[in-house]
Amino acid sequence: MTDTPNLKLPYIAAAQAQKHVTHNEAIRALDAIVQLSVLDQDLATPPASPTDGDRYIVAASATGAWAGHETEIAAYQDGAWMFYAPKEGWLAWVADEDKLYGWDGTAWVIAGGNSLNPVTGGLVGINATADTTNRLAVSSPASLFNHAGAGHQLKVNKNAATDTASVLFQTGFSGRAEFGTTGDDDWHVKVSPDGSTWYEALIVDRNTGRVTFPSGGVRRQLTANTTWYVNAATGSDSNDGLTPGTAFATITKAVKTVIATDLNTFNATIQIAAGTYTESLYLEPLQGGKCTIIGDTTTPSNVTLVNVGSEDNITSYGLSEQWTVKGVKLTGNRVGFEVRGNLLFSDIDFATSFIHMRANYNGWIRADGNYTISASAQEHMRAANNAAIIMFNKTVTLVGTPNFSTAYARAQNRGFIRNDGMTFSGAATGKRYSAEEQAGINTGGGGASYFPGDVAGTTSLGGSYV
């Protein structure tokens, strides 16, 4: 054997002449490859003016004195290039990159111990594969971020307010919960059953610190009069409804949002864009204020509400004049207004086929403006079970001679109807009124022919008409 097995250093043979030559050759090899640090690994052509001791990893397609020595160590020694073929496991520090490479038997690869702060394009994977989106990837039972003697902050920075800075929780890489500044600079908490549909559970206003709960729970509290917008054509119930451009798609969503809000003495408005809405609304008691639902007060038929199945168009349980409805056409096969609390209305086009309005079980309805009747029904109005319907000095326009098969105005079981100073434009057919079971109808002395119709009204079982 004439060379060492690993570094291929020449042995000095027994009785060899000029032993210093062999010894110096070994010393040169050691100087080249021990504590190996090369200047570059990307050059294929030898530098024009190398300095004695300079070392390089020869790149592919080498030329000149380096030709045929690709991937080898080229060391400039004593005015000439010497070449050393690497063995698996050799390490070389590449000075122009500040990175440590290792020879894996085939190629020079990153060996670790390098900078974890690359300027561009850096990827770090710990038991995982990083990519251009997840530049830091960790696969581990846990991750620890410890203090360095005092406190510790985890910082997530974004470029602009409309971007997202958040922490996302996933199941099988599908989102289930997220918190952070998502889409604005307020703090949001939201959840998802499938990674596609998201529900906002909590929002903290960045300016006031006020907490709101868009999906229910603790009520959002108003600090000013507020309008929510509804547009069946362009809206979405995942919007906030607070501008025409972020309108809800359904009136139901707007109503539920108002009910879930602490109005805090301020007034809410639901502004409905033109369109047909197949919905049945339930107006429950409000906290701390009032709400007006407005369609088109000039042409109510531009905003049409059609009842769903056997449900009434609008059922109100609101208290103390909390709900007002304006500028809507009510159609379908049920009751237009079913009121067991309080309800005010004006500029309504009644076109339901059963009963246009019914106050029931201690509820009351009051007309605050003029309105229209454009379709026949069994009854236009009914007050029953200690409920009341009140109207003073309003104009009712009847279109197309509607028919009322039971009665235009019906009071029963201690119900009470007060229609005083009304003007009826147009005509109707059917019974004018029916007062039954100790119920009363008061027209302020309007007489037996006061209400529209062509059949005389009746009283029975203690009912009265004046």
- CATH architecture for residues 219-465: 3 Solenoid (2.160)
Residues of the chain with CATH 2.160.20: 219-465
Phi, psi of 301 (to 5 degrees): -65, -10
Residue type (1 letter), 457: G
Q: Rounded to an integer, what distance in angstroms lies between the CA atom of residue 74 and that of residue 72? A: 6
Instruction: State the residue for tokens 């409805």.
Output: 325
Q: What are phi and psi of 65, to 5 degrees?
A: -65, -20
Q: What is the pLDDT of residue 118?
A: 59
Q: Using an 8 Å Cβ cutoff, are 284 and 219 in contact?
A: no
Looking at residue 386, its amino acid is: N
Q: How far is CA 239 from CA 165, 243, 246, 459, in A?
A: 20, 9, 5, 53
pLDDT in tens, the chain (466 residues): 576 666 667 777 777 788 766 677 777 777 667 889 999 999 999 999 999 989 999 999 999 999 999 999 999 988 999 999 999 998 999 999 888 999 999 999 888 655 555 555 677 888 988 888 998 899 999 999 999 999 999 999 999 999 999 999 999 999 999 999 999 999 999 999 999 999 999 999 999 998 888 876 667 889 999 999 999 999 999 999 999 999 999 999 999 999 999 999 999 999 999 999 999 999 999 999 999 999 999 999 999 999 999 999 999 986 768 999 999 999 999 999 999 999 999 999 999 999 999 999 999 999 999 999 999 999 999 999 999 999 999 999 999 999 999 999 999 999 999 999 999 999 999 999 999 999 999 999 999 999 999 999 999 999 999 9
**In Å, how far are 320, 372, 409 from 452, measured between CA atoms?**
30, 13, 9
Taking the whole predicted model, whether its pTM rises above 0.75 is answered as no
Cβ contacts of residue 64 below 8 Å, gap of 6+? Answer: 45, 46
